[in-house]
Amino acid sequence: MVVVLQPVPKCKTSSVLIPVVDLADPTSKTQIVKACEELGFFKVVNHGSLKDKAGPADPFGYGSKRIGLQGDVGCVEYILLNANSHLSSTKTTAVFRKTPAIFREAVEEYMEEMKGMSSKVLEMVEEALGIEPKEKLSRLVKVKESDSCFRMNYYKEKEETQAKKEIGFGEHTDPQLISVLRSNDTEGLQICLKDGTWVFHLITLLSLFLSEILFRKNLNWNIWVTLQKPRKITIFRLRVMTNGRFKSVKHRVLTNTKRSRLSMIYFAGPPLTEKIAPLACLVPKQEDYLYKELTWSQYKSSGYKTKLGDYRLGLFEK
Ligand code: GA4
């Protein structure tokens, strides 16, 4: 009797011929006996793993399918970590403690680089828009109190027989200041254009999303960034539209039928106590503010009560 634990090497016909025993199914014993009688070979799923013990995400930690706390689901497995160890939830620490040092160190180093990268881009924005005082934005993601997080997503390839693409991560906008994404160059991420069409994002290895909380009036820009070598970051296209309206692009991930998709995203957020309001140098008159002042903590906690695709700024509209 040969028992194959997942992941199994890819084989087109295997899924048709090989019995699959779901250990979470109460009839699994009977399924095993049947498989042993018929073929003497079977595949085991839901056999429990270290990963399962690390979940479910709260929202930090290891998660499978469930996203957030309001019942959203997607075909995704992920690890969500708080970037600041002093703010870390027990789930973050637990996931991290059980992983090899080599993984922890790599993630920590990557997060540090992404923090630098986020603040660099924000510095460029400050310069381009003449934001005063200096470092008004970039400081927010640099200080030790910054409430940033890091997510690693795994979207398993779909069987070719399942022609229809499934939702890996439903449509949403990111709440933090800036998100830096890197993937294994596998199609899946889509962004929503102004006219509502969804387009696959193929161009880059690393992209930046602007946050929904930079909701300044009359600002709109798009930034695409590529990471050429592991530690060398080059900005190859920065577009600041003249009439300048910030846009927080709606995006989603569809599962891929050819390859599994991996992505890592650093979400650079401000300190929890930071007050978020239009920058005086950009919108001088209070009456022009579209939103009420809020702290990142208020915005975040109201955001976690929403569903992924919800419009989260509604509560703060004037
Ligand atoms: C979207 C961006 C980040 O992945 C995230 C997500 C968070 C989560 O997965 O727990 C949220 C989602 C994200 C926005 C609305 C709420 C919270 C899931 C969800 C339904 C980590 C974040 O900060 O906001």
Region 53-81: mean pLDDT is: 88
Q: Give pLDDT, residue 117.
A: 84
Q: Give pLDDT, residue 307.
A: 95
Centre of ligand 1 to C-alpha 90, Å, is 18
> Rounded distance, CA 51 to CA 74, Å?
17
Q: Give pLDDT, residue 228.
A: 32
Query: pLDDT (tens digit, 9 = 90+) per residue, 155-212?
Result: 988 876 666 778 999 999 888 888 888 887 788 888 888 788 888 875 444 455 544 4
Q: Give pLDDT, residue 92.
A: 59
Centre of ligand 1 to C-alpha 170, Å, is 11
Atom of ligand 1 nearest to the CA of 67: 9
Which residue's CA is the nearest one to ligand 1's atom 14?
308
> Rounded distance, CA 111 to CA 34, Å?
49
Residues marked as catalytic: 261
Region 16-32: mean pLDDT is: 85
Q: Give pLDDT, residue 66.
A: 93
Pocket lined around ligand 1, Cβ cut-off 6 Å: 59, 67-68, 70, 72, 80, 149, 151, 172, 174-175, 267, 303-304, 306-308
Residue 111 has pLDDT above 60, yes or no: yes
Helices (H) and strands (E) in the chain, counts: 7, 17
Of 20, 26, 22, nearest to 8 by C-alpha is: 20
> Rounded distance, CA 65 to CA 316, Å?
30
Atom of ligand 1 nearest to the CA of 310: 15
Domains contained in the chain, CATH given: 18-47 (no CATH), 50-203+240-305 (2.60.120.330)
pTM of full prediction above 0.90: no
Which residue's CA is the nearest one to ligand 1's atom 11?
68
pLDDT grade, residue 240 (50/70/90)?
Answer: very low
Q: Which residues sit opposite 152 in a β-bridge? A: 79, 264
> Rounded distance, CA 137 to CA 307, Å?
28
Contact call for residues 286 and 188 (beta carbons, < 8 A) = no
Region 73-88: mean pLDDT is: 83
Strand 198-200 versus strand 189-192 pairing type: antiparallel
Centre of ligand 1 to C-alpha 271, Å, is 17
Q: Among 272, 299, 308, which is best to mutate for testing ligand 1, by the most ligand atoms less than 8 A from CB?
A: 308
More confident residue, 79 or 290: 79
Atom of ligand 1 nearest to the CA of 78: 9
Atom of ligand 1 nearest to the CA of 59: 10
Contact call for residues 279 and 136 (beta carbons, < 8 A) = yes
Centre of ligand 1 to C-alpha 68, Å, is 6
- Helix/strand/coil for 3: strand
Residue 242 has pLDDT above 80, yes or no: no
Centre of ligand 1 to C-alpha 314, Å, is 17
Q: Which element (helix H / strand E) includes 122?
A: helix 101-129
pLDDT grade, residue 96 (50/70/90)?
Answer: low
Region 129-157: mean pLDDT is: 89
Centre of ligand 1 to C-alpha 308, Å, is 7
More confident residue, 63 or 94: 63
Q: Give pLDDT, residue 253.
A: 93
Q: What is the mean pLDDT of the chain?
A: 75
Q: Among 304, 306, 310, which is best to mutate for testing ligand 1, by the most ligand atoms less than 8 A from CB?
A: 304
Which residue's CA is the nearest one to ligand 1's atom 16?
304
Q: Phi/psi zone of residue 68: left (φ > 0), alpha (ψ -120 to 50 degrees), beta?
A: left
Of 108, 127, 154, 153, nearest to 235 by C-alpha is: 127
Contact call for residues 242 and 218 (beta carbons, < 8 A) = no
Residue 53 has pLDDT above 90, yes or no: no
Q: Would you say the ipTM is above 0.95?
A: yes
Hey, what are 200's tokens?
């696959």
Report the share of the chain in percent with pLDDT over 90. Answer: 19
Q: Give pLDDT, residue 281.
A: 77
Query: pLDDT (tens digit, 9 = 90+) per residue, 244-283?
Result: 235 677 889 998 778 888 888 999 888 999 887 777 777 7
Residue 14 has pLDDT above 90, yes or no: no
> Rounded distance, CA 19 to CA 122, Å?
54
Atom of ligand 1 nearest to the CA of 63: 9
Which residue's CA is the nearest one to ligand 1's atom 3?
174
